[in-house]
Structure 1
Amino acid sequence: MQPLSRLASVLALSAAALLSFAAQADDPRYNQVALRAEVSQEIAHDLMHVTLYSEAQHSDPAALAAQITRTLNDAVKQARGAEGVSVALGSRHSYPVYDDKNQQITAWRERAELRLESASFATLSKLTGEMLKTLKMGGMDFSIATPTRKQHEDTLLKDAVAAFRSRAQLATEALGGSGYKLISLNLSSGGFQPPMPMRMAKGMAMMDAAATPEIEAGTSQVTVNADGVIEVLMP
């Protein structure tokens, strides 16, 4: 009988705890205010991205693929020789070319991309100019490196909390409260980082190894939001 008695005691305590929790959950909360604070900063782009591509046409698809592969292999070897430049293969696809009546395949066309990335704009700009002798320009844009973004977000996070506390105090004073309790607080980061087209003095078509083009990388706005709920304490 003793084990049954202990079990009954445990069940009784559990039931009491559940009833207490339910009572607390049903307790009304008054003077709760939802607040939002936002801080942002313009951050200079410190990463440069370039997409180059090789495109050709041939009646023999195997010969075409071999030609594109040789061009890409040479380009990858050249790019790997540049210090501080990351190299990656992009998309590659081929498609048939039909005759005027769109009935018979007369040839095959293939396109393959090479993607380059570097924090050294001068190095990548010069390399790109040299590689345009054998490849074509697919695009160029800029972004914020992950360590840079994290560093600024950490600073903005502190500013967002301070801004939230300031708003909480203003709301408390506006309601005539003597203080407030923090019910919840959610911190989130974001920011719009659009692709930044390359700007050059002489235009992209004149980009070559003889001169390094003037590049304006631009900026992106990094934002940290503080969303929370406070309960204003009335005197």
Structure 2
Amino acid sequence: MPKFTRLAAALALCAASLGSLAAQAADEARYNQVAVRAEVSQEVAHDLMHVTLYSELQNTDPAKLADEITRTLNSAVEKARKAKGVTVSLGSRNSYPVYDEKGQKITAWRERAELRLESADFATLSQLSADLMGQLKMAGMNFSIAEKTRKNHEDDLIKQAVDAFKARAQLATNALGGKGYKLVNLSLNSAGFQPPQPIMMRAMSAKGYADAAAVPEIEAGTSRVSVSADGTIEVQMP
């Protein structure tokens, strides 16, 4: 048999042997493996308040309408910027035609523009919102957890989730009659659920807002922040 033929046959045999060993090793690596999951959660108080105000007007002249809306928004923005600790931004703005009863002829134009306010100081933002109600209308109010607050709570929950995972891994090992376990892999995931929060407000009448005398009484509520630990262990049998 030529030398190169014998060499090729030897290499093929080695490759087959290595493939067999690799497959065997892979099978052994999966031996007595158990998927384990642990999850911990915590209710966290909302510490960020969001308010959306808007101006909506109608005029037969679209240019005059746009100018009036802009002046109203500029005045509100100027006043809002004076409030300490309040982030001010403009939201959506759109206009659309108003038709006659037959829906054939445009009789006027209507425009709506939003002003969005955000702050961790609920009292200041509540007072500012009440003050602006003479110029604008309330579109919505909601609450959330600030990014820094969420991260701090998630960092604490990660430690708890790992401890909970270890406890479950040991429980599974004991249930199988193992003498110990090895950690094969572990992934940590966080999630936060923020359901719509009821808002308690007093003096919601149009007169109260027009006079800018009534300040909303706030119940910010909480959201549940959770961290899960998902992984695989390999139980070592006696």
Relative to the length of structure 2, the TM-score reads 0.88
Matched AA of 1:76: V
CA distance in 2, matches of 1:151, 1:34: 28
Q: 2 CA distance for matches of 1:133 and 1:203?
A: 13
**Residue 41 of structure 1 pairs with residue 42 of structure 2:** yes
The alpha-carbon deviation at position 28 of structure 1 amounts to 5.3
Residue 232 of structure 1: aligned partner: 235
Q: 1:94–1:111: 8 Å Cα contact kept in structure 2?
A: yes
RMSD: 2.2
Alignment partners' CA distance in 1, 2:205 and 2:234 = 59
Letter in 2 for 1:57: Q
Kept in 2, the 8 Å contact 1:49–1:142? The answer is: yes
Q: Deviations over 1:162-207 (max 9, x none)?
A: 0000000111111110000111111000021123242113336434
Describe the superposition over 1:21-61 as per-residue Cα deviations: whole angstroms up to 9, x where unpaired: 55533545222111110000000000000000000000111
Q: Which residue of 2 aligns with 1:6?
A: none
Quick check: 1:88 aligned with 2:55?
no
Counterparts in 2 of 1:28 and 1:224: CA distance versus 1, 3 Å: closer
Is 1:104 matched with 2:118?
no
The equivalent of 2:73 in structure 1 is 72
2:6 — aligned with what? none
Distance 1:34 1:26, change over 3 A: closer
| Alignment partners' CA distance in 1, 2:230 and 2:183 | 11
2-structure distance, mates of 1:147, 1:50: 20
Contact 1:47–1:143, Cα closer than 8 Å, also in 2: yes
208-217 or 174-183, which deviates more: 208-217
CA distance in 1, matches of 2:214, 2:69: 28
Residue aligning to 1:167:
168
Which runs of 5 or more structure 1 residues have no equivalent in the other structure?
1-10
> Residue 55 of structure 1 corresponds to which residue in structure 2?
56
Residue 75 of structure 1 aligns to a residue whose secondary structure is helix
Give identity over the alignment, percent: 69
Q: Which residue of 2 is the match for residue 212 of structure 1?
A: 215
* Residue equivalent to 2:189: 188
- TM-score scaled by length of structure 1: 0.89
In the TM superposition, residue 211 of structure 1 has moved relative to its aligned partner by 4.2
- In structure 2, the CA distance between the partners of 1:222 and 1:28, relative to structure 1 (3 Å rule), is closer
Give the AA of the match of 2:70.
T
| Amino acid of the structure 2 residue aligned with 1:168 | A
Report the CA distance shift for 1:122/1:142 in structure 2 as closer, same or farther (over 3 A).
same
CA distance in 2, matches of 1:90, 1:29: 54
Q: CA deviation at 1:120?
A: 0.3
The structure 1 segments of at least 4 consecutive aligned residues displaced by more than 6 Å after TM superposition are none
